[in-house]
Structure 1
Amino acid sequence: MDRYTKAFVVASLAYFFLAAVLGAWMGSATPAGWVPFAHIHFNLLGFMSMMIFGVGYFILPRFNGRTLHWPSWVPLHFYVANIGLIGMVATAPERPSTGFALFAGLSVVSVAMFVINLGATMLIAPAVEEEEEEEIPARPQASPAPSPPSPPQVDIHPDMRVGEILTRWPQTVEIFVANGFASLGNPEHREQVKQIPITLRMACQRHNVDLEPMVARLAAAAGGAPRAAAAGGGAGTGPSGGGGRRGGLSRGEPIRPDSVLGDVLAAYPETEKVFKRYYGAGCFSCPGQATESVKQSAMMHNVNEKEILTELNRAAGF
């Protein structure tokens, strides 16, 4: 969790404690008139709402495979929500009053900010996806292939998104269905998969499908040879070479959004300091580095994807 997402959860627990104290006061004595109001609103707008805000900001964008549409709103939302709630409780004895109406309005605005931000995140497709689709065909030029293979080269590789493969080569759906991905035969499910940042490597691992033969079959269906096959004899590009792990990334290739973290670290150990600065030391013991891409990890840690990608490539010498 980032700073303000965590702050919502911490504030929620603090309000829960205050509500419990006020509840005990109400049960043991005759409290002041504002106490029941404070008890109710610390529970509803404090404990419940702020827990929903914090958990919602953290989980819902990830469930949709997207980053928050307006992340800069979150700090502002935190302050607006807390000022509104505390102000309402402070001016409750004077209500109805201009001050109370003002703070109540802030509470309404805070809820609206949450609804609009998450609604836009789930309903509006991010423009970044389109930019990446346009850049993908140029990737083979960055690969130092010594010579083109006899069949035409197809840029299908283990770290390519399944949705991207289906979009660029619709005929590959038959290969997926025939090799254990029967659900992709459903057009509606295919459209959903196209929105999920799951790579071919991850999909094969989940469905217990051999990765390399699957890449070869997909490339054949797309009308050529897989990218890995074109460089298979080169030094450092195969699974046992000196470059990236399992052929996912070789030293000399730029780091891409769909590059797997483990492959990046294997090919460019000098990027460790960048990952540590953004993700912490726990990144290096997390099993997710074997399957998560730079794009996915940035989303999970609420980090700007372009920013960390630039720093990783700079550390790698690009």
Structure 2
Amino acid sequence: MIHARDLARSFKTKAGPVEAVKGLSLDVAEGELVAFLGPNGAGKSTSVRMLTTLLPPSSGSAMVAGCDIARDPAGVRKRIGYVGQGSGAGQYYKLRDELLTQGAAMRMHPADAKRRADALIDMLELTGMEDRIGTTLSGGQKRRLDVALGLMHSPTLLFLDEPSTGLDPHSRANLWEHVLKLRRETGMTIFLTTHYLEEADTMAERVMVMDNGQLIADDTPARLKANLAGDRITIGLANSDAAKAAELAQNLPQAREVAVGDSRVEVTVGEGEALLPEFIRRLHEVGVDIASANVRRPTLDDVFLGLTGRTLREAQGSVA
């Protein structure tokens, strides 16, 4: 559904040219839900704008939904839906009229546009709001309207650019319930950017991480967490045998990082839950008394920290 090779984009500034994206290559298969992560200034938004034909690349190529972004941008736009960060609906227009206007912009037959608008209103639980104007809608209702606008022409590929930013937890969950239901019913491909890592972790089959204009990771959330972050085993000690415990920890399969305190030992491994019983058995064999033991599963923020030296939350607050 997306096949990009060596996409690059630079901008002219008073201080000289700035490379926002440096040779981006990626593939997204039909039906996938892919999360695209990165800090502010990483080139994430610029990449999405190139893939959606809103910004021409400086070099490189991409096929999106079967059309070349440079040679056939109109073909791309006919086949994709795009829900940007800001609301796409007018503040003083009726909800159903906005959908019909979007249908007209996509050159849909008026009768088809009416049927599609009514179906989306029902599907996204906007029934009863058809004649309400934008200023009277809640944040969650506005975002569901934005999704409806992006889906009016039944695209095969939907770009969601931080769709739930600014929503309260209930509205976020409600929005995702509707998006995932639509995906199950239509098999639509979704390309998601988000700052909410739990969304990427639970929703996406694949996660891509971008930093400094380049793609630095691309895999399933589970493999990224296992390979780049790892599980953290923490053993609380009832005696002062930290040195013995640390030596055993270093000899565990896939042991990466061992930290020793006065009454604890921590070790990062690939599969913590599987290794914990064996680790405890070995500690007992050498006479180390254990006060507590636990395994902490990694998060995608741990992955980002391992890749860049920053958590994603820290990166969002940094200057690009």
Give the structure-1-normalised TM-score: 0.24
Give the structure-2-normalised TM-score: 0.24
Find the structure with the greater CA-based Rg.
Answer: 1
Name the one with the larger strand percent: 2
- Compare relative contact order (CA 8 Å, sep 6+) and give the higher one, 1 or 2: 2
